[in-house]
Structure 1
């Protein structure tokens, strides 16, 4: 952090006793610098000066500890834990009465170049956003990749992962804009499970130590102008925490 000592001290004093902003994420990292200031001795004689001691905790952001490679892979820059949750599975089909029904969808994770393993399979009705479906201590330099597909009429749809060479798997951090050709937050197809994670300007709204993974599983990236390319067929939330936590 490029913060002067006096500025950091001022920030710590102002932050003392002020609760961090409430965010719709799993992260508990402080949103602003917090800290404490003590003086010893508490009572001093005229002409003498107390010794001031301050302790400052700066807010952590996921970019300090990871690197997003190719827009779809998370690389650990140091040893760090990751917890993965499923936020939603948005693949649907329309019935003859025009009712939409969710279909089974599979989410996969690959660590350190290993094979992709299933971490979730089911419809959106089976999603438990607070349930951790995958957790691991990532070693420095190790990579985490993602994949998914849906199943309908006893057949698998197309398979996409971080190594498909397409734009069907996207990893974003707080403040990023989902890379659709139209504002996703205003799209009529926006699923309710995704609304809490987008602000009024359509930017990603998650914790500072979170990474959100969007997957498009029903359309190829060559169909990005199609409203069906909405990157919400499988949505994961990765929360990173330091090894000392």
Structure 2
């Protein structure tokens, strides 16, 4: 269900000419601050009192715990905006490939996994928020997905499947080795803006990124098709 390397190279060449959509800036925030002096006007022979005030940027680790590598547990009440970055399940045919429909699901506080996206990669709008949720302290967020081919659903995986098919990371994390490197021909173009040239996750400081593998089980990790690019979700948290 994954495209061949030749097909990926052919489509990548076409993608170079297409416009690129970004969900948001992936540049990390930096500290900001102020410096005040008292008195403002200093007389000869006197020294002013200087006072610094530094505000450090919020990071998602201050507000959530990542449990088991696949579940987000808020440590205080937050809002989360969820976006779909890409859906990479394909069927190869000769030197081309076709994306097949893929479904992304979201579960909150142990509830039912509900659909937040269904379609192919051509339907993905990375800047579009597909769901906004008020999440309360210790009420966990989980994710799932599956694909459809020849009118039949493929395997279903979620954060509670007991597999490594759903992975959740934050800015600066090193992705699992199954995720292709920044310059690898097999890296999907939609994922490239969210990895840096050193192979680390490059997202906002209050973001969490979710990688899913939907066409292979985790006992097939040595298979090149196990690349964790079948569904990629971005969660941006905001303090209440």
TM-score normalised per structure 1: 0.83
Q: 1:184 and 1:223, CA in 2 relative to 1: closer, same or farther beyond 3 A? A: farther
Structure 2 CA distance for aligned equivalents of residues 42 and 177 of structure 1: 48
Deviates more, 1:196-205 or 1:38-47: 38-47
Distance change (3 Å), C-alpha of 1:35 and 1:62: same
What residue is the counterpart of 1:59 in the other structure? 57
Corresponding residue of 1:228:
225
Which is worse superposed, 173-182 or 225-234? 173-182
Let me know the Cα RMSD of the aligned residues. Answer: 2.0
Which residue is 2:67 aligned to? 69
1:137 aligns with 2:127: no
Q: 2:32 aligns with which of 14, 31, 34?
A: 34
Assess if the C-alpha contact under 8 Å between 2:23 and 2:83 holds in 1. no
Aligned twin of 2:185: 188
Runs of 5+ in structure 2 lacking a partner? 1-21
1:222 partner SS: helix
Aligned residue runs from structure 1 range 79-228, under 5 A: 79-95=77-93, 97-181=94-178, 183-228=180-225
Cα pair 2:180 2:186 within 8 Å, conserved: no
List alignment gaps of at least 5 residues for structure 1. Answer: 1-23
**Displacement after TM superposition at 1:180 (Å):** 3.0
Taking the aligned partners of 2:25 and 2:182, their CA distance within structure 1 comes to 23
Mean Cα displacement is larger for which, 162-171 or 198-207? 198-207
Structure of higher RCO (CA pairs closer than 8 Å, 6+ residues apart): 2
Aligned partner of 1:15 in structure 2 is none
* Alpha-carbon distance, 1:136 to partner: 1.3
The separation in 2 between residues aligned to 1:31 and 1:118, in whole angstroms, is 32
Q: State the number of aligned residues.
A: 219
* Contact map agreement 1:27 1:209 (CA 8 A) in 2: no
Higher alpha-carbon deviation: 32-41 or 105-114: 32-41
Q: Deviations over 1:142-200 (max 9, x none)?
A: 11000000001100000000000000000011121221347543443211101111111
What do residues 210-229 of structure 1 show as CA deviations (whole Å, max 9, x unaligned)?
11100000000000010000
Once structures 1 and 2 are overlaid, which stretch shifts more, 196-205 or 145-154? 196-205
